[in-house]
Amino acid sequence: MSVIWVAGWAFGQPVRARMIGLGVVWAGVILAHVTLPEESALRAALGGSATSWLVVGGAVALAFGYRAGLARLRAHSAPPDLPTEGPFRAAELDRYARHILLREIGGPGQMALKSAKVLVVGAGGLGSPVLMYLAAAGVGTIGVIDDDVVESSNLQRQIIHNEDRLGMAKVFSAQAAMTALNPFVTVHPYRRRFDAEVAAPLVAEYDLVLDGTDNFDSRYLVNRVCTEAGKPLISGAITQWEGQISLFDPAKGGPCYACVFPERPLPGMVPTCAEAGVAAPLPGIIGAMMAMEAVKHICGAGEGLRGRLVIHDALYMQTRVIGVERKVDCPVCGPKNSQI
């Protein structure tokens, strides 16, 4: 056997051809042991019994079977072949490899993320994790609007900012952190208040809006403008130990924010974080959920929160999901609004 293998190697025969040659010889030896009488000199020269040959053949078959199975497993788990030239640079392919491995995202989903334009209203507690994860995920164009500056009291929970950027406009602080994390995304900072003057033209430039504001005036304004523009809105809110999140998309049959919260609470009923406090990790929990819903929405993965409201109680670590419906008499997205 070794002679055949070495001779094949010397004459430049491929491994497959040498293996076939060894297989033919092995089959011939087994046939000789089966057909020739026991006293045959040839059988004696071949070991006298087929047992040892069968053991060797079985061991070789097991070894090659294991090798083939391992190769098949590696091929199944390996990342899909991706073009070295195209919309992604090599560094981007390496950066987003864990996304591309996910069946629900893959190459097309990552391309959708790169092509997406997402506006984030607020660069504070909720905006911080939202912006960081959108940038990390590879959302191509991210707008952020906020008129505030970084203060020391923000740093307990607003993780996108740091001590060195105290006094800096939050949108520029956020831009610095996002581009440091991922230089392949484009960040548009808008240092101004999200008000009626700028809301409609700004929202029109984006595909998806995430609202991380901390007051009802801004929430109702964001909702109205998104509803009129037919743009989906992911809205989150937090206070003390509790948070909530939903996707409001009347253009696709879901409710708007005003359907679920038709009237703003009386003054003092829902205090702000500055008035009532907030646990440091809570914005991270709800903000990460918002970013996750954004990624799912852009990629068309899984089941989103259209028509569902998530309520999270961090103090007792309980999360509930309740159904919410569109109201036919809603003053924002009801029948009187001809665009919906």
Judge contact between 199 and 225, C-beta under 8 A. Answer: yes
Determine the Cα–Cα distance for residues 332 and 125; give it in Å rounded to an integer.
27
End-to-end, the C-alpha distance of the chain in Å comes to 79
Judge contact between 225 and 212, C-beta under 8 A. Answer: no
- The one catalytic residue in 259, 273, 330, 333 is 273
The contacts of residue 36 (CB under 8 Å, 6+ apart) are 42, 43
The yes-or-no answer on residue 333 being catalytic is no
**Residue of 235, 293, 286, 229 lying closest to 259 (CA atoms):** 235
The three-class DSSP label of residue 292 is helix
What is the Cα gyration radius of the chain? 32
The dihedral over CA atoms of 118, 119, 124, 129, expressed in degrees to the nearest 10, equals 0
Quickly tell me which residue has 């209203």 as its tokens: 121
What count of residues does the chain have? 340
Quickly tell me which residue has 């993320």 as its tokens: 113
The contacts of residue 285 (CB under 8 Å, 6+ apart) are 243, 312, 314
Distances from the Cα of 253 to the Cα of 57, 248, 256, 306, 327, angstroms: 66, 9, 9, 9, 11
Which are the catalytic amino acids?
273
